[in-house]
Structures are given as C-alpha cells and as structure tokens.
Structure 1
Amino acid sequence: MAVLECKNLTKQYGHVTALEDVSFSIEPGRIVGLLGPNGSGKTTLIKLANGLLTPTSGELTICNAAPGKETHAIVSYLPERTSIPLWMTATQLLDFYQDFYKDFRRDAAEEMLAHLNIPAKQRIKQMSKGTREKVQLIVTMSRAAQLYLLDEPIGGVDPATRDYILSTIIGNYNPEAAVVISTHLISDVEKVLDEVIFINQGHVVLQSSVDEIREEKGMSVDALFREVFKC
C-alpha cells in the first residue's frame, strides 16, 4: 500500500493553476526528494498532503485515506516557516508534543536537543533563527509517523549542522514510513535520497530512483536537475 498517492491532482488558486493533473505514488521505506524551482508547486503539494488545502480536482490519499483527522495522527509535518510557539521553552514544547501526539518519542527529542547543545529551559523566542529551525525539526522527527513531510528542512542552517540534520532524518524515521523532503539544496540532500520527483510549473516531469539516474544517465541528481531546469 502506498503511503502517499496522487491521482490526477489539480489545485487552482482562482485563475492560477499551481498543480495540474499530478499523479505519482510513494511506497513505505523511501526517502523522496520533491525537487523543483521556486514556484513549481512543491509547497502546495505538501500543504494538500497535510490537509491545509483541498484539491480543485483529482485526489490525494495517505495510506488510502483522504487528508483529515485520521491522517493527522500519522503525518508529521515540518512547514517552511517556523510555526512553534515562541513563548515556550524547549521543554514546554516537548510537553506539548507529548500531550498532543501519541507517537511522540520524548527520549529521542531530548537526546537530539542535548547533542546540538540547545538549552532545554531557554525560551524559543530567545533562540537564533537557525536554532529555532533545529528545534522544530527535532520535534517533527521525534514522532513515529507513517509519513514525514519536510518543507525546506535545511534551508536556514549552516553546512555543518545540515549533515547532522540529514543523519537525524535517516536515523529517526520509522522504516515502514516514507519521508518527503522538499528542497532546492539538492547537492546537500542527494546522499540521503532513495528517489526523486521533479516538479515544474505544477507538472511532474520525472519520478525516478536515484540509482537509476546515476546508472542510466551517468550523472548526479544535482547535475540532472541543472540540466532539466536550466534557464
């Protein structure tokens, strides 16, 4: 059973079409890069999967269910912008997640906070932008979800921290789950991806395993991306 499946999915904002006739499926145990230029429809697709938007036509399902209360319990979502309450301390945020999500693994979250030297008693509003992003990613990845939707998870952090964050993503997700990483920092995330979906102007232009790209085209995902989307 596919973790995430789209069938002829279209989303319009008035007269503007953000996604058109998109069809693909993502199987369990896969880390998938959702890759495309700015304005290609990546964030719209992730918001549809999280139930924040509704399709204009077509359908999107998560473990055979339409996005809603049932899927919120199995989807862990990292939005592009920081959305955690700034007045909380890191400890209070963990308390909140523990109360709200049955699948929250507090021990994993505490271990990651300690590894990144993030003070548990410090208020989030006192943290730097990059540290806030780390905290938000930590709580997102500390759930034992079926689907992780990560919108630009490494956009605002330094290169050294990116490596830790990517290893965190690999080491902390349920092997029966799927991870979707939307990003434009392809060379940074390529090493953790199993497959990629290229999206451009609301259309899927490629879905392929990373191994196939390397074997059949003889190039990296980053090089293929540059070729497909060159200006």
Structure 2
Amino acid sequence: MVSILELSGISKSYSGKVALNNVSLKIAPGKIVGLLGSNGSGKTTLMKIAAGLIAAASGEAKVVGQLINKETRAITSFMPDRPLTESWMRVEDAIHFYTDFYADFDRTKAHEMLAFMKLNKRDRVTSLSKGMNERLQLTLTLSRNAKLYLLDEPIGGVDPVARAKILDAIVSYYNEESSIVVSTHLVRDIERIFDEVIFIRNGEIVLQDEVENIRVSSGKSVDEMFKEVFAE
C-alpha cells in the first residue's frame, strides 16, 4: 500500500535554528492523524513541507509516492493557522474563489458543510467570530477532493461549542481514501477523533503510534501520555 504521506530524513533550519531534525514518518490512507507538540516544536514547518509551501534542507518528502511538487500540491489541501480569505469577501465569495482556483473543489459538499456549520453565505468574512471563521476555513479545506488534508491548529483559540462542531465536521466530511493530519497542542479536546498520533519535540519525532495501542499498552489517554512525554 502506497503511503499518503512519506517523509524520509527531513531536516530544516531557520537562521541556524533547527526546526526539523532528520524526521521520518509514513501515514497510510484512511487515517486521521494528530501531529502533537508544544509551540515551536516543528509542527508548522513539517506541515508546510508536506503542503509543498517550503522546501526541506535535506531528505525526501512524498505524497502518494510522488516527490512533492506542483502535481502533489494539486492533491494536497492545506488549512493554515491564519485565514486565506480576503477581508472584502462574503462567505459565498470565498466559495466562488475556491471553485475558480481549485479544479477539485466540490461546491455541493461546500454548501452541505456551510449548512452543517451554520454559516450564512451572505455574511461578511469580517463579521464572523473566530470560531465561525475557523468553520469557514475548514469548509473550504475539506470541500476539495484531495488525497492529503493538512489542518494547522484548527481549534486554536475557539470556544468549546465551535471546537465540537469543527471536530464533528472533520470526522463527517473527510474522504476516507485520503488522510488528514491535524497539528495541535490542545490534545485533550481533540484526541477523540484520532486514529494515530505523532509526538514531535524540538524538531524530532519522539513517538508515532495508533491511539488504541497507546491506551492498551500504557493504560493512559493520549493527553496523559502527551503530558508525560513533554514534561520530561
């Protein structure tokens, strides 16, 4: 089986500061994977390399067996930690923009998600709360028929009601032939949706395992294991 995402010996530094150090991992199809680490651990750098937005200094990065390039960017849907929408847009303008920009954007799915997220297509983007804006960004990201979805801190700074809605949408609307990687440091709130987790600390992978294996072998929740690993 070809991995959806495969990183081999990936390293990256900024101004002499190591962001990723010899990172290797594989993510199989049909997985929702948590990329878990504290701020500054290397999560966003890893996500941007996987999305094809920045290049690694060394190592190989592949999506569905292809070295990351323009072709793989066409099958990778990235939700950054800052909105991609413009301030002049209404919700429906954002849908039109993504429809024009991405050949794989599914307008029917987008409108279903807008209803699920309780978003009004006539609302201005600037009038949306942070939680509503996160719901919109997630709608835009998941409405593409991609192979790899990358969600960078999708529940950061939003209230518990919005978090629950966002997590339900991730589970309900992703394509099961694809995989989703969700980066977060808010482990307790989100671990229920993960099939697998990757712990990253100081630019290095310190654990990658199935959630069920962690619970059975350690008798701990992912959140408890996360606190134990990152307290060291």
Q: TM-score range by the shorter chain?
A: over 0.9
- 2:180 corresponds to 1:188: no
- Contact 2:150 2:180 survives alignment (8 Å): yes
One-letter amino acid of the counterpart of residue 40, structure 2 = G
Deviations 1:64-85 (A, max 9, x none): 2222210111111000111211
Moved more, 62-71 or 14-23: 62-71
- Contact 2:31 2:180 survives alignment (8 Å): yes
- Which consecutive residues of structure 1, in runs of 5 or more, have no partner in the other structure? none
The 5 A counterparts of 1:18-167 are: 18-167=19-168
**Cα distance in structure 2, aligned partners of 1:112 and 1:156:** 21
Give the Å deviation of 1:209.
0.4
Give the Å deviation of 1:112.
2.2
One-letter amino acid of the counterpart of residue 209, structure 1 = E
- Contact 2:132 2:162 survives alignment (8 Å): no
Give the number of aligned pairs: 231
Q: CA, structure 1 residues 116+178, in 2 after alignment: closer, same or farther (shift >3 Å)?
A: closer
Deviations 1:132-164 (A, max 9, x none): 221111111111110000000111321122112
- Which consecutive residues of structure 2, in runs of 5 or more, have no partner in the other structure? none
Cα RMSD, aligned residues only: 1.2
Deviations 1:104-157 (A, max 9, x none): 121222122223332211221222222222111111111111000000011132
Moved over 6 A (4+): none
Give the Å deviation of 1:57.
0.7
Q: If the length of structure 1 is used for normalisation, what is the TM-score?
A: 0.96
| Paired residue secondary structure (2:67) | coil
Q: If the length of structure 2 is used for normalisation, what is the TM-score?
A: 0.96
| Paired residue secondary structure (2:120) | coil
One-letter amino acid of the counterpart of residue 210, structure 1 = V
**Cα distance in structure 1, aligned partners of 2:113 and 2:64:** 29
| Paired residue secondary structure (1:150) | strand
